[in-house]
Amino acid sequence: MKELNAEETLRALAIEKEITEILGQDSNHRINFNYHDHLGNVQLNIETINPRYNQMFLFFTGVGVSKLDVLTKALEYTRHYRDQSDSYTIQWTSAGEKEVRTSYFHGRSIEEVLEKFRYGRDRNKTTVFLVSLNPKA
């Protein structure tokens, strides 16, 4: 991954801050920006960490020619995701636990929402009881 100059670094930090502020308006989730090389480009996974369950979920994934390029795409997605996707509720539990947990996601399809939910977790250690499309407000 190409190193950013000082001006680009400041711009990247400003975009990360704006994304974090937008996502933090509705919750106290922590946000992680996970960058890595992807076939000569930069892939960004924005992960949200739910403090109540101490679980990580995928919010956004994208690829760009540079860190600033993919961050700009992520910011655009973050600004408009509620208007361009549906809201879903997932009820689930982890292996060995009795509590049924409820988590909320936005996506264009059930498949996309399940991909965000399953991100980084072992499918054999999680049981999904219900995935439902929420009514539009």
pLDDT in tens, 28-79: 778 999 999 999 999 999 999 888 888 899 999 999 999 999 999 999 999 9
Same domain as 123, residue 75: no
CA distances from 83 to 24, 33, 67, 106 (A): 18, 23, 25, 10
- Asked whether the whole model's pTM tops 0.85, one would answer yes
Same domain as 56, residue 119: no
Q: Beta partners for 126?
A: 94
Enclosing domain of residue 99: 85-137
Q: What's the pLDDT band for 27 if we cut at 50, 70, 90? A: low
Same domain as 40, residue 103: no
Rounded-to-integer distance, Cα 106 and Cα 108, Å = 7
Rounded-to-integer distance, Cα 125 and Cα 109, Å = 23
For residue 88, pLDDT over 90 is answered with: yes
Report the b/e string of 80-95 with b at 16+ CB within 10 A.
ebeeebbbbebebeee
For residue 85 the two structure tokens come to: 């996707």
Q: At 76, which amino acid appears? A: E
Same domain as 1, residue 23: yes
Same domain as 77, residue 67: yes
